[in-house]
Structure 1
Amino acid sequence: MDATHAEALTGMLTVLVLLVLLVLPSLIGIAHERRVDRRIRQAGEAREEAGGQKSSSRSTVPSTATWYAEGRRSKKLVSS
């Protein structure tokens, strides 16, 4: 193996390592998202099996976004 082959091998390995370093965070993120989605799905299925009928645990008080939107809708537009 002469110097040209060694340089080519070093260059290819460098590019491969850089590619792995760029792609690895995305692959870890995808795996994490899939795991979270699976847990959410399992929790939903367990809730359906245990409860039979869905009950809402949400508050009946409207959210801030709803309150803001209703206030904005009630104001009349003034044309100038």
Structure 2
Amino acid sequence: MVSMDTAHMEALIGMLVVLALFALMILPAAIGIAHERRIDRQLRQAGTARDTTRVTPRAPAGHTSASAGHTSRRDATSQHTARAA
């Protein structure tokens, strides 16, 4: 009967070792997931704070493009640089 208790103790120790190794393998992934969730939360908070404080720029009084007499529209060719054939 003494050998039965020893077998149970060895099985318990083996199971605890396996669980400890499993925890050591899972721990870095769990830490990484928690870190990424914290960063995502901070980015969301920064984005909503930026959206609420965003001010639309205004042109100074009397300096609109219509009153200047020209428009700022460009044709498509002025946007691209010339390329050699």
Amino acid at match of 1:46: A
Q: TM-score, normalised by structure 2?
A: 0.60
Aligned to 2:29: 26
Which stretches of structure 1, 4 residues or more, deviate above 2 A after TM superposition? none
| Structural mapping, 1:1-80, within 5 Å | 2-53=5-56
Instruction: Say how many residue pairs are matched.
Output: 57
**Whole-angstrom CA distance in 2 between matches of 1:28 and 1:37:** 14
RMSD: 2.1
> Could you tell me which amino acid in structure 1 is paired with residue 30 of structure 2?
L
Identity %: 55
In structure 2, list runs of 5 or more residues that go unmatched.
Answer: 57-82
> Comparing both structures, which one devotes a greater share of its residues to helix?
1
Aligned partner of 2:29: which letter?
A: S
Q: What is the letter of the counterpart of residue 38 of structure 2?
A: R
